[in-house]
Structure formats: C-alpha cells, structure tokens
Amino acid sequence: MEDLKKEVLFEGVGTALVTPMNSDYSINYDKFEELIINQIKEGVQAIIVIGTTGESSTLSLDEKKQLIKRAVSASKGKVKIIVGTGSNNTESAIYLSKYAEEAGADGLLIVTPYYNKCNQDGLYEHYSKIADSVSIPILLYNVPSRTSVSINPETVIKLSKIKNIVGIKEASTDLVEVAKIIAGTDESFSVYSGNDNLTLPILALGGKGVISVTSNILPKEMVFLCNSYFNSNLTKARQTNEKLLDIMNDLFIDVNPIPIKEAMNTLGYNVGPVRLPLSKMSTEKYIKLNDTMQKYDLKLF
C-alpha cells in the first residue's frame, strides 16, 4: 500500500448508471451492457455501477457480482468502471470490494455506513480497514440525506492521507463543507459533486467533476458543461448549467432513481421498473417531469 501513488480516477462526468429491470423485476443484463456501451459512445469519463441510482440496496450479492463482471467486460477498458461496494457492515464491504478488484474494476465508491449512525472515529476505522484490504482507488461517498451520517471535513482530510483513498463524492449540499475539504486536502485528492445542480459551484471551488444522474439521458450535455469549465469558457459553462437546471432538479422530484427510470422509459430506453420498496411516482409528478423533458432535445435511445 505504501508504494501506491494516489491517482485521479477521472475528471469530468461519471454516470451513476441505473440498473435496468425486466417486467418481472429480474435484471436485464443485456440492456445493462447496452447502456454502458452507449455511455462510452457519448463521451463520459466514468461509469458508476450498483450505486444509489443502480438500486444497490435491493440487489442480491449474486446480482451485484454479475453486474460487476458485465460492466468490466462491456467497458473493454475504454472508461473507468467504479463499483459501489459500501455497506453498514464493514466485513461485507470488504468482501465485495475485494471481489470488485479481482473482477477488474478501476475503483470503488463506498457510502458511509447507514443505520448504525457511527461516530467520526468509527467512520475513520471503517474506511481505513476497507482501504487496507484492497489496492485499487477508493472514493468516499457522503450522502447524509440517505444515511443519516455525515463525514466531517476533518475526517475526510484525515482519510485523504491513506494512499488509495483518492477522493469523495460529496452529496451533502453544504458548499462550506466542500470548500473546507478542498482547502484541507492535497491537490491529487478529488472532490466530485454528488448533486447535478451543484456541479458548476463545486467545479468553481476546485472539484474534479460530477457523479451524475442526469447524464443517463443527457451525457453529452453534462460532459460539455464540465469541459467548458475546464477549458476556461465560463460563459458556456454557466449557460449550459442554466439550461440544464430544470431537468437536473426535476429528476429528483421523487426519490432517486424513480424519476430517472421514468424519464428513460419515456424516451425508449426500456430500463423497466424500480424494485420495491420503491414504486412508480404519482401522475402529477410524472406530468411535471414530462413537461420539463419537452424542453430538451432528447432523442430516443
């Protein structure tokens, strides 16, 4: 571990990919591979599988293993494959993290332990033990609205000293905390927006990109937003951000990934339903989302 150099996993857009289902709620693995190939064609820099958007909490261990293998195979090394291996059980997270590494994943996205509500010392021990069990890069994932646990900036800064903990997906919406993390970590430690609508502000603070839900349907536009900023074309970045704000917001009109799957099915992607306990959103919300989608030049898959 001491010899491993910290690397930037990606700069730009990592798509938080949905897990497509058949009508009987089984996984549509062929469609999953098709989605990955399409994302690569559209120019994203990374694909995140079995994360929140991928309905990881309702997937069996065998399904997760199959999805990891399929993602690595379908990508053919053309894009970074980052696997959500987090758990509120440290040993379970270690097991799946080791499996993902052996299967050829490029990196891991590890959410804070949910439900247990551990303290900051527990968070540090949890992540450091997982990091010690694998050699591939790890991204922390801070999403307190889901887990009821938040990693304090001080804990993130401490964890950033571990060589294969290379960044964080920050979805707390607290830009002051994000600024503290960026100011307190080495330049090689990457901060990614975990909220599409905060992509531009986090880039402005020094972030490296976004792990995006919106890029499931608008990958080129999200890539253009990030690239415009990286190329110092702030006017184009701001204009693109303003153009995308409505769809970014309305894709969270209900619990993720309900709206993005509804949107993708409307557009002909045929990604199927969400698994219980998630369910279809109300007609009122669907109409609002559909009205917003009409504003964009969305093409059928």
List pLDDT tens digits, range 9-59.
Answer: 999 999 999 999 999 999 999 999 999 999 999 999 999 999 999 999 999
- What's the pTM? 0.94
For position 297, what pLDDT does the model report? 73
For position 38, what pLDDT does the model report? 96
Interatomic CA distance for residues 18 and 256, integer angstroms = 10
- Catalytic pick from 31, 169, 208, 261? 169
Please say if 141 is a catalytic residue: yes
Q: Mind giving me the DSSP string for the chain? A: -TTPPP----SEEEEE----B-TTS-B-HHHHHHHHHHHHHHT-SEEEESSTTTTGGG--HHHHHHHHHHHHHHHTTSSEEEEE---SSHHHHHHHHHHHHHHT-SEEEEEPPPSS---HHHHHHHHHHHHHH--S-EEEEE-HHHHS----HHHHHHHTTSTTEEEEEE-S--HHHHHHHHHHS-TTSEEEESSGGGHHHHHHHT--EEEESGGGT-HHHHHHHHHHHHTT-HHHHHHHHHHHHHHHHHTTSSSTTHHHHHHHHHTT----PPPTT--PPPHHHHHHHHHHHTTS-----
Kindly list the structural domains of the chain, giving each domain's residue range(s) and its CATH number in brackets, ordered by start.
12-233 (3.20.20.70)
For position 3, what pLDDT does the model report? 39
Share the mean pLDDT of the chain: 95
- Catalytic pick from 99, 127, 141, 286? 141
The predicted model gives 257-271 an average pLDDT of 96
Asked if residue 301 has pLDDT above 80, the reply is no
Q: Are 44 and 298 in contact (CB under 8 A)?
A: no
Asked if residue 1 has pLDDT above 50, the reply is no
Please say if 29 is a catalytic residue: no
For position 299, what pLDDT does the model report? 59
For position 296, what pLDDT does the model report? 82
Q: What is the pLDDT of residues 80-129, one digit of tens each?
A: 999 999 999 999 999 999 999 999 999 999 999 999 999 999 999 999 99
Asked if residue 150 has pLDDT above 90, the reply is yes
Higher-pLDDT residue of 278 and 145 is 278
